[in-house]
């Protein structure tokens, strides 16, 4: 006879408890697996995105620094060049005044890569919307300090080459005024006497900067032409040898007055140091496993 003071458990209770424990454990395990899977996927996305930032943003910057900006700042590569620029004027109210002509002008050299848009110092990235998004994300969330230094470098570089361009253009104007020869135009008939003032100014400026570029020399039995020493490009064409001698003397005299070029040379030297540091820091980041950071795109 059972004792009325004790509680008797139903025979199914232990079984039910065990079943509930199993079911609960099953759902807990499922929950853990779901959390682990979500965490794993998120981590995988962040790793992939971090690698994408390195591949699409930092790696090109490092390449441009090594292949273009450092050699230019070290004056192993010329910062300026010349190019043909078409000038149009077509006033709607004066039909007779319509003309098209081409001048040869001083231009800041810009790097480019096969399959990529031109990379301009004035506006660093001329790329797709996707690239702009990645660059903005990298600047805000991934490599802020490094990319701020890069942007400051680009601004300084633009300022220096801009100053060099202004000096070359001013020299070209002074040469034209002193030599009193018509400037060479890239279109139309070649005049009997002319001078490529933009090209001469760039060569003279580069020579003062210490860039290894072409020199000037006389060619022809009548010594009426002044050419580049290596490529033999004609820069001055005169009617007589006396005229070409006079033009060369004008070039030599004006080249002596480029004292302000020393400031540009000094600034290039300072920027070369920062370019080398940026390359080293970029390479360090690229060599390491990227740090995973929270951002809207991963």
Highest mean pLDDT among 26-30, 66-70, 259-263: 66-70
d(CA 294, CA 22): 37
pLDDT band at 30, cuts 50/70/90?
low
pLDDT score for 194: 93
Beta-carbon contacts of 38 under 8 Å, excluding residues fewer than 6 positions away, are: none
pTM, two decimals, is: 0.78
d(CA 142, CA 144): 6
pLDDT score for 147: 95
Beta-carbon contacts of 242 under 8 Å, excluding residues fewer than 6 positions away, are: none
Whether 265 contacts 79, CB under 8 Å: no
- Residue pLDDT, tens place only, 138-167: 999 889 999 999 999 999 999 999 999 999
- Residue pLDDT, tens place only, 43-87: 678 788 888 889 888 988 898 899 889 999 999 999 999 988 877
Torsion sign over Cα 78, 79, 80, 84: positive
When mean pLDDT is compared across 88-97, 161-170, 171-180, the lowest value belongs to 88-97
d(CA 244, CA 235): 11
Q: What percent of the chain has pLDDT over 70?
A: 71
Helix axes 144-179, 241-255, angle to 10 degrees: 140
**Pick the residue with more confidence: 137 or 42?**
137
């Amino acid at each position: 006879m059972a004792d009325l003071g004790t509680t008797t458990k139903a025979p199914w209770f232990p079984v039910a408890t065990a079943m509930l424990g199993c079911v609960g454990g099953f759902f807990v395990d499922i929950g853990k697996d779901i959390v682990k899977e979500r965490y794993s996927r998120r981590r995988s996305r962040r790793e992939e995105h971090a690698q994408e930032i390195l591949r699409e943003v930092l790696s090109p910057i490092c390449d441009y620094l090594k292949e273009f900006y450092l050699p230019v700042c070290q004056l192993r590569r010329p910062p300026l060049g010349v190019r043909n620029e078409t000038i149009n004027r077509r006033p709607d109210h004066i039909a007779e005044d319509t003309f098209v002509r081409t001048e040869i002008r001083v231009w800041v050299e810009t790097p480019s890569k096969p399959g990529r848009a031109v990379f301009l110092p004035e506006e660093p990235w001329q790329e797709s919307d996707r690239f702009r998004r990645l660059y903005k994300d990298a600047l805000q969330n991934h490599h802020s300090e490094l990319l701020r230094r890069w942007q400051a470098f680009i601004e300084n570089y633009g300022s220096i080459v801009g100053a060099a361009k202004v000096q070359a253009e001013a020299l070209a104007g002074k040469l034209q005024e002193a030599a009193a020869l018509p400037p060479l135009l890239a279109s139309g008939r070649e005049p009997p006497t002319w001078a490529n003032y933009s090209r001469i100014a760039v060569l003279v400026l580069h020579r003062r900067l210490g860039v290894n570029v072409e020199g000037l020399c006389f060619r022809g039995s009548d010594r009426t032409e002044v050419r580049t020493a290596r490529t033999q490009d004609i820069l001055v064409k005169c009617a007589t040898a006396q005229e070409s001698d006079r033009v060369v003397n004008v070039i030599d005299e004006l080249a002596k007055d480029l004292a302000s070029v020393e400031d540009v040379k000094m600034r290039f030297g300072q920027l070369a140091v920062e370019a080398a540091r940026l390359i080293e820091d970029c390479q360090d980041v690229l060599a390491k496993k990227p740090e995973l950071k929270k951002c809207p795109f991963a």
